A and B are shown apart, each in its own frame.
Chain A
Amino acid sequence: MSRLEAKKPSLFISDPLTKDTVSQSLSLLNRILKSCYGPAGRLKQLHNGVGGYVCITSQSSAILGRLSVSHPVLKVLTTSVQNHVARFSDCGLFTAILCCSLIENFKSLHVPSCTVIKISKDLLSLCTDYLKSEACGCRVSVDFSNLKTLLCLVRSILTSKPACMLNATEVEHLTMLIVKAFMFTIPCHVETKAVLGKCVTIPVKGRRVLDSTVLPGLLIETPEIQFAKLLSVKRISSDTIKIAVFCVSMSGDLFNPEEGMITVHHGVSLEMSELNQLLNVGKQLVNDEVGLVVCQKVIHPSLKQYLKENQVMVVDRAGLSVMEPLSQMTGSKPIASTHSFSPSCYGSLKDVCTKSFGSKHFVHLIPNDTVVCSLVLCNRNETTWDELKRACETAEHVLQLTIKEPVALLGGGCTESHLASYIRYKTCSLSTSSFKDADYSQTQYQLIADAFCCSLESVACSLSHDDKILTDTVYGHHWLVPSGFPSVSNWSDLLSKCGCGINSNTQNLNWRLLRPHFGSPTLQSCPKEPSVKTADVLTLDCFAAKYSGLQVAVETANLILDLKCIIEDQN
């Protein structure tokens, strides 16, 4: 007998943005994210309050992943930021802060939302066109024949994550390692379609960051017991070892039928028959002169014993993460059955040896052609290691994005303030005639553009948590005055370099305080491109990530502003 329950009516909420709770939550989220931004950002302790794992982070991927927001409006926002982070890894906070600021600023204007959306789309395309154009004053091209820019890109990412707890030497060391690891993954012989290799991160927690290293090939952890008695490997020739890779469990347990009963006679052992099957596989491997067997899961001890007696090296419990790089590196196809497989699945290796880091032991698989490498990543404790791993993955991803599009944007808030200056200049210089066909007035356009610029500037301003922010009127860059100094008119005494480090305080650049308020003075001329671009240490951002972040932020803000009602299914 089934029981019927009356359905609850759906909940209808109109004009969600006008509600107090939404705007409060939105501004709280904005404050949380703003306080995390940049190298001096404040960290957040994320935990469950009952003594569980504590995550200390300032990265959007970790924070948004653990925030469980209840309101649909916030959910739209966080989901689209998370989507962006999943695709680009970097600039998550930028996207989220910009989006929040845009919503707050646009909402306060009391301009119809359709007009806001239309104009902000206009402004967005103004930005993207400018960023894509050669004349753009806030981008630098990345020269892959020179490591300097690549190092700058990686360094900027590492220094912007304070929870990694790195000092200057450690940052340099890791920067070199990450770039080196990236270089390993670029194939030497490029055919029509080049595919980047993989860099596998090997966790070694508890040791110093400076103990981190990069090795070509793959490291697979083995227990101490196996490590002690790894025998000499059977080789086909002096530099070829045949390898078989299994992705199926070889522990000898039965295939697991979901339901139903198997009835066996007393004295019949399914386990034994399964083991015999495994030993047959072992025989085939030995006959085929395989020198190394790697299994993603567990191998039965008896099979292990048999293989070892026949000089076949065995590595089991390799884990899912190494399977793809392993087959990429050795040319082997993962075998998914213990009943039949063809010898064409085997791959080849150049050499195998053993390595130890701290208390951990590894088998080191050395390939003939290096497109796979292992980054042995160390940090002093688990919390900081986790944060460092996220940072390193971001850096690796950013390098991959940069090789596709060899351009970088100036970091340290300079791109944002430069872009804001550019838009202010552009919108000011529009003639009244250009508004004739539009269904909005020039005033409306000016208002929206101002709010747009303010939002950009407020992202730049959230880089600073103690200090004053200035901008110059020549390049439109972002400058920082350490706190503790009174407001003076002669800023040049206090300033040394702009946020990205490209401009130094050599000429009077006519600074003004950068306050993300409406009605900031516009520039008399288009912000210039810095004349010399050869400074050694620049702060650079990933072009693709920021470009997409800008689009995602504006489009998400538009989407949220466009929300007229929420219909919630309460069942």
Chain B
Amino acid sequence: MSEPGRAGDPPLSPVRANGELGALVRSARRRGGRQGNGGRAGNLATAGAAHGGGAGCPPLLGDLLLLTPNLLPPLVFLPLTRGGKRCCPLAMAFRDVNSRRHTGLQQLSSLASAGRTLLGPMKSCKFVVDESTNQSMLICSAVRLIESLDLSSAAGQLLNETIQAQNKEFKTGMSTLLFLVGAWSNAILECLQQNVPVSAIVSAMSEGLNSCCEKVQCLQISVHDVSKELCSTSVRPNTSSSKTYEFACDSFLNPQIFLCLQKEVSPSIELVPRNSCSHQEADSNLNKGLVSPLAGFGSIASPVRSADGNNASVISGSGVSASSCKQKRLTHSRYFSALATSPSSRQLDDSQVCLSGQSAHPCECYGLGHLARALSHGNEPNMKLLKSIVAYQHEQAECSGSNQFNIAEVVTCCLPGLPESYSCVCPGFVTLISPEQATVIKHFGDKPLRILLTEGDLTEAYRHLGFTKPRNVRTVLERPDLQEGRPGDVWLNTALDILMRSQVSLVLVKGHVCENLLERCVANKILVVGSVPQKVLSAFGEASGAQPVTYLTQLSASCVGSGAQLELWTASDGRAMDLGELVPIRIRVRGLTLLTAVLTTAVPAKMQLVEDRFWTFVYRLHHALRDGKVFLGGGAVELLCLSHSQALAEQTLKLANKKPVKEFHGPWLAASSAEYKPVVLQALASGWSQYLAAVMCNTAKATSLFEARTLIEHHLKKAADCGSPSAYVLKEFQTGGMFRGGPVPSTGNAEGCRVYDNVTAKTEAWRRALDLVLLVLQTDAEIISGPQSNQLLNSPASSEFMFL
């Protein structure tokens, strides 16, 4: 199953992936191959269905890199619109219909298509395999995907920059951004095919998006209202639903039976036949008559080249995760992490955090719990962790009167090798140290310890930033002193002496610690912990009264804090952990507000993924509280955008027919003529429509893109008939029709599944996506300077370049 126009790909041996994995991402050494292939790694089936033959032009990515080195000129000028002949290599007049292909947009679209399966609450993970080391890593976020791709093309660089910027600012919305970049690039390429001038596309697109952003303001709810509403309507939070999950799990193996049962249970609910992710079953049972592009969902190995294998962690058994994620498409716990343990054992034992009256309190977590659940997007395991954080911080706030949810006081500690049920939140700082160091702890007991914080490394050679070591100083020794020993010993003795004199038992170091000092400290019952994050240092400084120092010689009595307590970290069942080389310990100080989320997973390759997910969720709640409002989620916002942009398109079309061009927005703010506006707005709308369809497919609300489209059309029509689309969307959301979170329809549980989204993060992701696409669209040429351009002159591809 290959796509038209993509035959030019180098023959990469397709690796049979289990149908459940969205894609298999292969990585290569730096700049090994044509990075463009990564673009197609995503989901061939989705891509093919979404754009038919529209994207059928081979992305001309790797051209620049396939060149042999050769001589001179210092500058290369590469027009971005190809298809012109050699005689007109600039091709800046795009009058030729067939030559209206924008390389940059093609690059964006192919890169973005790799991230299709990462969209929505139910993501399909990807493996990143480093071919040089055979190490691999599971990823499920757009940031990690982009990090693993070889992005030496200019458009790729810009895409990377945009996604990193979104990640830095919000930690969420990157997959949306990546997807929309692809969808809008494709839509705009089609506009170019229809000879729409660039300026018209730019102005109509950005005006359209602005208008959409204004329109969806009516779908914002204040955080306060959400909590109130959800708390009051919350019914039987866990008991009935968990049964349904199990039921769903059981029936997973035979979708037909499942469907029948569902029909009996809730005949009134409109049923969408669910496709299991295993395509053999899907083919034989459900989709015989349907042309289902999704059937091949994960069955094509879609390799993505990784430029950087350094950050890949070692994976021991890919088969384990493959089989464990097999069921994810049908279970309520959407992440296969939930399946590593049975749903009943998911109950977290909160021995460390006392959730006062969890069962008695009608709405746990003091109002934030329901909001968090609505923002969790099915992230069950992390939901528990977040509840603990909120509960603990609430307790703190009652003492100190500070704010309710403080993200700065949360750190994570990753313990690969433990089952996920061991994840929990502990007050204090949990970190890993070596077993030798751990022996110190038993000497301490419950005794409060004196604590020292240092900001730099704890080594002899370390000097503060900005200090340049003199290179031309020679030390002469007049009379050798044989007793003095090795040269490093002077420093070591001084350092130890200082620590002993100030009776410090615990040293937290931001940077590295000298090995010898570490040993000597262990012998003298001082525990030194290196690589401590800045926010941990600050928290300990505040709680213990310690002042961070850079050098030990700075140490004075006022710098040392007191009251620290040390213990081995034990899991909820009292089992002390021995993770091979490292031992987890917990450090506490009275009044310390710091919390550590201990994240565990039995599959080491998943560690990064588990941590990423935790932070995404935490930040989502953080942003919701900061914005003070949330969007109705589950596609409600996007559906309104879709309907609004289509309505705008129709409006302008009518206007254009009635009154042929009189209104211009001023001559220089891009003379967008009403003639092209409908086409461009349709392109904008197609972005939303593709987004909705992809989410529906990923969450198994629809079995195929075709079906998803039909469903969307159906809702659009109903919305239009209703007169006010926003009212329709609100009603649908209230009654829990289209925008329900749970993929398994079950009676009476609709309220519990309401989904909300971040406002700023989402609208910013849209804006950033569109900005990037428009930026690339307006680019008509690449100017390559430096040594690379010298190589291009005599290369086979030199005909595509102009030289200055």
**Is A bound to B?**
yes
Known interface pairs A162-B778, A262-B473, A270-B470; 6 further A-B residue pairs with C-beta atoms within 8 A, sorted by A's residue number = A32-B77, A32-B781, A44-B781, A45-B779, A48-B785, A380-B767
- Write the residues of chain A forming the contact surface with B, with a CB cutoff of 8 angstroms: 25, 28-29, 31-32, 35, 38-40, 42-54, 56, 63, 66-71, 74, 159, 162-163, 165, 167-168, 205-208, 224-225, 228, 249, 251-254, 256-257, 259-266, 270, 297-298, 300-302, 305, 309, 317, 358-359, 380-384, 412, 465-467, 479-480, 482-485, 493-494, 496-499, 501, 537, 539
Interface set, chain B 533-579, CB cutoff 8 A to A: 534, 537-538, 547-551, 553-554, 558
Q: Smallest Cβ distance from A71 to chain B, in angstroms?
A: 8
**28 pairs, A vs B, C-beta closer than 8 Å:** A28-B804, A31-B90, A35-B92, A35-B780, A39-B669, A49-B784, A51-B31, A56-B779, A67-B75, A70-B73, A165-B775, A167-B206, A225-B455, A251-B464, A252-B467, A260-B472, A264-B473, A266-B478, A270-B470, A298-B467, A300-B467, A380-B767, A382-B161, A412-B667, A482-B671, A497-B666, A499-B668, A501-B667
**A71 CA / B75 CA spacing, docked (Å):** 11
Taking a contact as CB atoms under 8 Å apart, the answer to whether B804 and A380 are in contact is no
Interface set, chain B 762-786, CB cutoff 8 A to A: 764, 767-768, 771, 774-775, 778-786
Taking a contact as CB atoms under 8 Å apart, the answer to whether B472 and A47 are in contact is no
Question: Quick one: given A32-B77, A39-B669, A162-B202, are A259 and B472 in contact (CB under 8 Å)?
Answer: yes
Q: Smallest Cβ distance from A11 to chain B, in angstroms?
A: 16
Q: Smallest Cβ distance from A22 to chain B, in angstroms?
A: 11
Name the B residues within 8 Å of A260 (CB-CB).
472
Name the B residues within 8 Å of A485 (CB-CB).
661, 673
**A428 CA / B779 CA spacing, docked (Å):** 42
Taking a contact as CB atoms under 8 Å apart, the answer to whether A381 and B668 are in contact is no
Interface size on B, residues (CB 8 A): 89
Name the B residues within 8 Å of A300 (CB-CB).
464, 467
Q: Is the interface of A mostly helix, strand, loop or mixed?
A: loop
Name the B residues within 8 Å of A263 (CB-CB).
473-476
**A301 CA / B198 CA spacing, docked (Å):** 56
- The listed residue (A205, A266, A412) touching B668 by CB distance below 8 A is A412
Question: Quick one: given A42-B92, A225-B455, are A539 and B668 in contact (CB under 8 Å)?
Answer: yes
**A506 CA / B763 CA spacing, docked (Å):** 42
Taking a contact as CB atoms under 8 Å apart, the answer to whether A42 and B804 are in contact is no
Q: Smallest Cβ distance from B530 to chain A, in angstroms?
A: 18
- The listed residue (B210, B473, B779) touching A44 by CB distance below 8 A is B779
Q: Smallest Cβ distance from B337 to chain A, in angstroms?
A: 30
Taking a contact as CB atoms under 8 Å apart, the answer to whether A49 and B789 are in contact is yes
Interface set, chain B 59-105, CB cutoff 8 A to A: 64, 73-77, 80, 90, 92, 104
Q: Smallest Cβ distance from B618 to chain A, in angstroms?
A: 16
B7 is an interface residue with CB less than 8 A from chain A: no
- Interface-centre pick from B165, B534, B664 (highest chain A CB count, 10 A): B165
Taking a contact as CB atoms under 8 Å apart, the answer to whether A384 and B775 are in contact is yes
**A467 CA / B547 CA spacing, docked (Å):** 66
- The listed residue (B475, B675, B783) touching A45 by CB distance below 8 A is B783
**A178 CA / B452 CA spacing, docked (Å):** 48
**A29 CA / B767 CA spacing, docked (Å):** 33
Question: Quick one: given A263-B474, A380-B771, are A31 and B786 in contact (CB under 8 Å)?
Answer: no
Name the A residues within 8 Å of B784 (CB-CB).
47-49
Name the B residues within 8 Å of A496 (CB-CB).
662-664, 666-667
- Interface-centre pick from A47, A302, A384, A412 (highest chain B CB count, 10 A): A47
Taking a contact as CB atoms under 8 Å apart, the answer to whether B158 and A68 are in contact is no
Instruction: Of the listed stretches B149-157, B441-449, B622-630, name the one at the interface; the rest are far from the partner chain.
Output: B149-157
B469 is an interface residue with CB less than 8 A from chain A: yes
Q: Smallest Cβ distance from A272 to chain B, in angstroms?
A: 9
- The listed residue (A63, A224, A257, A381) touching B165 by CB distance below 8 A is A381
What is the chain B residue whose CB lies nearest that of A207? B169
**A501 CA / B668 CA spacing, docked (Å):** 9
Question: Quick one: given A165-B774, A224-B534, A412-B668, are A298 and B466 in contact (CB under 8 Å)?
Answer: yes
B802 is an interface residue with CB less than 8 A from chain A: yes
B199 is an interface residue with CB less than 8 A from chain A: yes
- The listed residue (B154, B670, B785) touching A67 by CB distance below 8 A is B785
**A264 CA / B478 CA spacing, docked (Å):** 11
- The listed residue (A162, A259, A482) touching B664 by CB distance below 8 A is A482
**A483 CA / B782 CA spacing, docked (Å):** 26
Q: Smallest Cβ distance from B551 to chain A, in angstroms?
A: 7
B465 is an interface residue with CB less than 8 A from chain A: yes
**A44 CA / B785 CA spacing, docked (Å):** 12
Taking a contact as CB atoms under 8 Å apart, the answer to whether A317 and B466 are in contact is yes
Name the A residues within 8 Å of B468 (CB-CB).
251, 253, 256
Name the A residues within 8 Å of B664 (CB-CB).
482, 496-497
Taking a contact as CB atoms under 8 Å apart, the answer to whether A68 and B200 are in contact is no
User: Nearest 4 CB-CB pairs, A to B?
Assistant: A298-B466, A49-B788, A466-B197, A301-B550
- Interface-centre pick from A45, A257, A359 (highest chain B CB count, 10 A): A45
What is the chain B residue whose CB lies nearest that of A411? B668
- The listed residue (B80, B161, B775) touching A163 by CB distance below 8 A is B775
